[in-house]
């Protein structure tokens, strides 16, 4: 009887090991241009998915979740996204890769962060996709680590025309600052040709001609003019030449908005502030 129990126990252990070591048919990868980054900076990432021969293709268009966890395993920020080619259209034996900018928050703790990735059904009806990687749990896979450090200098100094940071009630990872009609900030100068990443939106429905003209300036020189004609978020990457930025430690950055509104006056809310546009991201490269 003891021998039978021992045999059953051995068989159970073998089955458990086999079950735990089972892997999916899709091999994920992430390549970063830096292993150490500064808070409030930009990280270049290349995602890859190698679909092995005879792989089972997902029968839904999955979202790739990418979580950055601090040393205490708290999810601090994310890069969740839809891959350029929907997962339901992937083919066995093919490789899929694409690049994305990852924006490192400026208000987080320094330390080593773990990067975990997976693919899930946005409808929540089907299981996450099994991947060929180191699974932590629930088809969440750890692919890399990243060290995040504090900057030696303030990357951005907000001067006139800005309100305090606000956070989304639905998604704590989303935050923004409202501007007034004119807003000025000073950006730490990398002393070379660089790029400015800015994400913003406005409320053109309250403007006299239903559109908002936005002018961006560097050191009092206009570098970009655009119009907001709907409520969609606008993402821009603006090149800044070293000659324009000059050799001062900080670059003067200005936003001029053609039309402002007061939410209470237009029946939107009880907010009595004079609002220009909502800035979600303002980051200069090379830090």
- Classify burial at 16, counting beta carbons within 10 Å of its beta carbon; exposed 0-12, middle 13-18, buried 19 or more: exposed
Tens digits of residue pLDDT in 31-89? 999 999 999 999 999 999 999 998 999 999 999 999 999 999 999 999 999 999 999 99
Q: What percent of the chain has pLDDT over 70?
A: 92
Q: What does the pLDDT read at residue 205?
A: 97
> Quick check: 17 pLDDT over 70?
no
> Quick check: 226 pLDDT over 90?
yes
Q: What confidence category does residue 173 fall into, taking pLDDT thresholds of 50, 70 and 90? A: confident
Q: What does the pLDDT read at residue 171?
A: 85
> Quick check: 2 pLDDT over 60?
no
> Quick check: 19 pLDDT over 90?
no
Average pLDDT value for the chain:
91
Q: What does the pLDDT read at residue 142?
A: 97
* Complete domains list, the chain, with CATH: 24-149 (2.60.40.3880), 156-284 (2.60.120.260)
CA dihedral 267, 273, 274, 277 (to 10 degrees): -90
Comparing 207 with 107, which gets the higher pLDDT? 207
Q: What does the pLDDT read at residue 14?
A: 35
Tens digits of residue pLDDT in 232-262? 999 999 999 999 999 999 999 999 999 999 9
DSSP assignments along the chain, one per residue = -HHHHHHHHHHHHHHHHHHHH---SEEEEEEES-SEEETT-EEEEEEEEEE-TTPPPPSS-PEEEEEEE-TT--EEEE--B--SS-GGG--TT-EEEEEEEEEPPSSS--EEEEEEEEEE-TTS-SPPPPBSS-EEETTEEEEEEEEEE--SS-SEEE-TTBPPPEE-SS-TT-EEEEB-SEEEEEEE--SSSEEEEEEEE--GGGSTTS-EEEEEEETTEEEEEEEE-SS--EEEEEEE-HHHH-SSSEEEEEEEES--B-TTTTTS-S----B--EEEEEEES--
Q: What confidence category does residue 172 fall into, taking pLDDT thresholds of 50, 70 and 90? A: confident
CA distances from 66 to 143, 258, 284 (A): 10, 38, 23
Longest distance between any two alpha carbons in the chain, whole Å: 88
> Going by DSSP bridges, is the β-strand pair 36-38/140-149 parallel, antiparallel, or unpaired?
parallel
Cα(95)–Cα(84) distance, integer angstroms? 13
Strands lying side by side in the sheet with 166-167: 166-167, 175-178, 278-284, 194-201, 234-240
Q: What pTM, to 2 d.p., does this model score?
A: 0.83
Over residues 101-112, the mean pLDDT reads 94
Comparing 160 with 10, which gets the higher pLDDT? 160
Return the minimum-mean-pLDDT range out of 89-98, 163-172, 230-239: 163-172
> Quick check: 7 pLDDT over 50?
no
> Quick check: 181 pLDDT over 50?
yes
Q: What does the pLDDT read at residue 6?
A: 46
Q: What does the pLDDT read at residue 8?
A: 38
Q: What does the pLDDT read at residue 42?
A: 95
Reading the block at residue 72, the tokens are: 């205490």
């Amino acid at each position: 009887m003891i021998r039978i129990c021992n045999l059953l126990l051995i068989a159970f252990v073998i089955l458990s090991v086999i079950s735990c070591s089972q892997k999916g048919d899709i091999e994920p990868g992430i390549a970063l241009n830096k292993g150490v980054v500064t808070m409030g900076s930009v990280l270049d990432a290349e995602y890859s998915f190698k679909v092995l021969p005879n792989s089972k293709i997902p029968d839904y268009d999955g979202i790739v979740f990418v979580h950055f966890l601090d040393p205490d395993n708290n999810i601090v920020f994310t890069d969740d996204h839809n891959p350029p080619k929907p997962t339901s259209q992937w083919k066995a034996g093919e490789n899929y890769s694409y690049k994305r900018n990852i924006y490192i928050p400026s208000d987080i703790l320094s330390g080593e962060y773990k990067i975990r990735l997976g693919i899930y059904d946005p409808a929540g009806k089907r299981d996450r996709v099994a991947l060929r990687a180191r699974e932590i749990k629930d088809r969440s896979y750890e692919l890399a680590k990243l060290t995040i450090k504090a900057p030696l200098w303030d990357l951005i100094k907000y001067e006139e025309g800005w309100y305090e940071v606000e956070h989304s009630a639905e998604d704590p990872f989303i935050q923004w600052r409202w501007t007034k009609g004119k807003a000025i900030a000073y950006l730490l100068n990398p002393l070379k040709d660089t790029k400015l990443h800015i994400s913003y939106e406005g409320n053109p429905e309250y403007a006299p001609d239903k559109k908002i003209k936005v002018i961006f300036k560097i050191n009092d020189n206009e570098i970009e003019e655009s119009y907001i004609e709907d409520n969609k978020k606008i993402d821009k990457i603006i090149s800044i030449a070293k000659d324009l930025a000059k050799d001062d430690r900080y670059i003067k950055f200005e936003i001029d908005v053609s039309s402002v509104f007061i939410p209470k006056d237009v029946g939107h809310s009880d907010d009595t502030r004079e609002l220009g546009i909502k800035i979600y991201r303002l980051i200069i490269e090379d830090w």
